[in-house]
Amino acid sequence: MRKIATSKTLLVLISIIFTFSIYLYSSDVNSISGNSLLGNDKCIVEEKCQGNAFSDNGDCTYGESEDGGGNPIELIILISVISGGAVIGVATLLLIRRKRKRIQ
């Protein structure tokens, strides 16, 4: 089901198992929202476009601002590296202390 409003607003697009759901070519200042984009290689593709706004397109976050603080996997990796460094540091200090006690 496709419904395209005359004010350049695409609404209620349900697309299943295609290469991409929405393809814009040389199409400027569109508002793309309220779509369910499932089973596609790419949810939205733009070529030679300017000023298009994207929001509320289900799992597709193409063109939306990343105010959430970045990719969660990057945060997990950062926390893991910091935690790993802390564990290594504590283990090193404990080994140094243990060797000093043996010497005395």
Structure confidence by residue, pLDDT tens digits, 56-79 = 887 777 776 555 445 567 778 888
8 A C-beta contact, residue 64 and residue 37: no
Tell me the backbone φ, ψ of residue 15, rounded to 5 degrees: -130, 125
Q: Is the pTM of this model over 0.75?
A: no
How far apart CA 61 and CA 89 sit, in angstroms, is: 40
Q: Which residue ranges of the chain lie beneath pLDDT 70?
A: 1-18, 40, 64-72, 104
The reported pLDDT for the residue numbered 66 is 53
The reported pLDDT for the residue numbered 45 is 86
The reported pLDDT for the residue numbered 104 is 64
According to DSSP, residue 57 is labeled: B
Question: Cα-atom radius of gyration of the chain, to the nearest Å?
Answer: 25
The reported pLDDT for the residue numbered 3 is 44
The reported pLDDT for the residue numbered 16 is 46
How far apart CA 104 and CA 34 sit, in angstroms, is: 73
How far apart CA 8 and CA 23 sit, in angstroms, is: 14
How far apart CA 52 and CA 24 sit, in angstroms, is: 9
Amino acid identity of residue 31, one-letter, is S
